[in-house]
Structure 1
Amino acid sequence: MFTGNKGEWSECYTFLKLLGEGRLYAADAELNKIPDIYYPIIKIIRDEACGKKDYIHRENVIVVDGDTNRTVLEISADDCVRKATYIYDRIIKSKGPSFAIPQIEAFLNELKFKKLKAKSADKSDIRIVVYDLNTGMKPTLGFSIKSRLGGLSTLLNAGKTTNFIYKVTGVNIDAKMVEEINSIATKSKIRDRISAIKELGAKIEFIEMASDMFELNLQVIDSLLPSILSNFVLNFYQGRGSSLEELLKIMKEENPFNFDTRFNHNFYEYKLKGFIRDVALGMTPAKCWDGKFDVIRLNLQIRFI
């Protein structure tokens, strides 16, 4: 049975809606569709454990085995749109963190789906071959899908590979005190533990990233980026700010890395934007980052007000 959270079902919804409509529309800054600007979709490429499948949009949708180039299915494009609409309705109404939609189980099996979310070696959630009306070219474009139908989506998921390692200096803390601090299990336990450490008069200094790969990836973007991000993280858990805008303002005012700001260069803002851009367009913590974007950049704008 296919089960997934709202984000995973949103990817399935996007796949079926694009496949059925056959058009990839542009949008304005408020994500409103621009009806007159679009790419005609030639096909959507999906990688399954059993091999690649090409979903070709014509009057009907034709499913072709990517290895043998043999047509394995032909279905109505309108049926894809109807199924997408049904999935959308279920996503909106669902209350649980993960759920199934039994009514479309047979349809997804018919489409040769093995999993709800197709496998991918990069940050592209969907790969689409489009026809460029201006140039006549047929590029394959990768897109990362971020859904607003559930909770707020993230650009970078936290995990063992994204941990920052700090050291405590300035005071002698015995084993009993360490145990007491580590036993703090409140809802905001990290902030409360840091607060307890600071109350002892100790300093907390960044040492390194837990993952060598992630640290090197950050250094590819900017050699100081691991240290700069560690400052953001520490200030956040010290309760000094809850948004990037607030934390960036603190960083610019305190200038902990002693940049020459005589001419009002936006050192911290520029470096942070570079990090967000690369995470959005391909960089992941566990894979060597070569600076090549995996997903399509459509008027990406990052503003700090």
Structure 2
Amino acid sequence: MTKDNKNDKTRKGNRGEWSEPYVALKILGEGKLNLSDDDGNTMSDQWLNILEVIRHETFFSEEEQKNKDKVIKYKRSSDNVVDIYIDNKLDISITSKEFLAYATKLKENILKSRGIFSTNDDIESFLDKISLNHIKAKSIKKSDIFISTIDPRTSISRENIGFSIKSKFGNNPTLFNTGSNSAAVYKLTNMNDKLMEEINNLNDDKGHTLVSKRCETLVNNGCQLEFIGFPISIKHGYSIFEENLDIINPRLKDVIDFILRTHFFTSTSTSNVKDMVDILIQQNPCNVTRPKEKYTYMIKSFLYAAYCGLTAGTLWDGKSQVNGGFIEVQKDGNVTASVALESDMFKSYLFKHCYFEWPSTGKKHGNYAYVYKENGEYYFRLNFQIRYK
């Protein structure tokens, strides 16, 4: 396989994907990772010094197929040199100044590009030189990059911390991904086959589902929705999503039901998590005491759990799959980190920056906003996902 063919195969991506090698080059060049507060602002007096960056790469030559995954370590030395080790064997040493120069070049390339793109030959040659074979390294337990650091405030060093990278170069990144298992199921009253057909045919000129119009038609025809829960796993005989939510709080499934109803069946236009919690506090659908404290804590815990690995389709044991936090790439290329170990600040960061989004309808999203019939009963589903602003 020629070098050009390899690059055509492995180094094309969108802005968000190209942010991953950009982060590696920039923090190795600067030798530090700035920290942000719970509003996402860079704290000028707080940072982590970078000792090494670890990436898990996959190679393509016939000989290397025998050992597909290789660990590349980029170790910063005291004399501002980055020593590159492949499976703990020194391969090459390059100045940190050169890493920073190519980080700047890559940022400029990212900002001027659209869609799926490759970089110029100069950057490609440098990526080859440092054995960065892929735009995206192999993701392990939701971590995109692993870093060893020392905190100059405390002199505490930590090795192999896993961070996920969220970039504002591209689309807003997702915290909680939608899926068929996250679609809330409702039983309908006052429904019949004729009305079912009418609602399911409410589409725009391009065939896209008119979700709001379908919900409005349900209300106008006096249909009542009874929340049943979330889809039952055929394999397990119970709802995986509900099991996961129950670890956090048994009331959480009813809170999500309230949020979905509030969005789809009322005039509210908010999608910010914090604003939705304000509505929860005001209306207190679960009739809890101290609603401000309980609903806020409940939602913060859900956001943090989603960050730690909770999904709607896989049973979760409550353990975190990421031990570092987020590295965020700002639109101007500035790179900051929110560290999950400082959990209260990190949860506040999520709470302030996340928003609900309403994904496209279809099978992979549980066929939501579609009336269907089972055993003589009519049902309807609603779904959601959560992104960072």
Shift of 1:264: 5.5
What amino acid sits opposite 2:147 in the alignment? Answer: I
Residue number in structure 2 paired with 1:214: 241
What amino acid sits opposite 1:252 in the alignment? Answer: I
Shift of 1:101: 1.6
What amino acid sits opposite 2:33 in the alignment? Answer: L
Residue number in structure 1 paired with 2:217: 196
Residue number in structure 1 paired with 2:61: none
Q: How does 1:47-126 map to 2 (within 5 A)?
A: 47-49=56-58, 50-58=69-77, 59-66=80-87, 69-94=88-113, 96-103=114-121, 104-126=123-145
Name the CA shift for 1:248/1:183 in 2 (closer, same or farther; >3 Å): same
Q: Does 1:151 align with 2:171?
A: yes
- Report sequence identity in percent: 31
Q: How does 1:33-44 map to 2 (within 5 A)?
A: 33-44=42-53
Which SS does the other structure have where 1:284 is aligned? coil
Which SS does the other structure have where 2:242 is aligned? helix
Name the CA shift for 1:12/1:214 in 2 (closer, same or farther; >3 Å): farther
Aligned equivalents of 1:266 and 1:26: distance in 2? 27
Q: Does 1:185 align with 2:214?
A: no
Which SS does the other structure have where 2:127 is aligned? helix
Query: What is the alpha-carbon root mean square deviation over aligned residues?
Result: 2.5
Shift of 1:275: 0.7
Aligned equivalents of 1:131 and 1:159: distance in 2? 39
Residue number in structure 1 paired with 2:30: 21
Aligned equivalents of 2:134 and 2:181: distance in 1? 26
Name the CA shift for 1:207/1:113 in 2 (closer, same or farther; >3 Å): farther
- Between Structure 1 and Structure 2, how many residues are aligned? 297
- Where does the alignment leave 5 or more consecutive residues of structure 2 unmatched? 1-7, 59-68, 234-238, 326-339, 353-389
Name the CA shift for 1:192/1:278 in 2 (closer, same or farther; >3 Å): same
Q: Highest relative contact order (Cα 8 Å, sep 6+), 1 or 2? A: 2
Residue number in structure 1 paired with 2:294: 267
Which SS does the other structure have where 1:233 is aligned? helix
Selected match of 2:283 from 237, 244, 254: 254
Shift of 1:18: 0.8
Aligned equivalents of 1:158 and 1:264: distance in 2? 27
Name the CA shift for 1:288/1:85 in 2 (closer, same or farther; >3 Å): farther
- Where does the alignment leave 5 or more consecutive residues of structure 1 unmatched? none
Shift of 1:265: 5.3
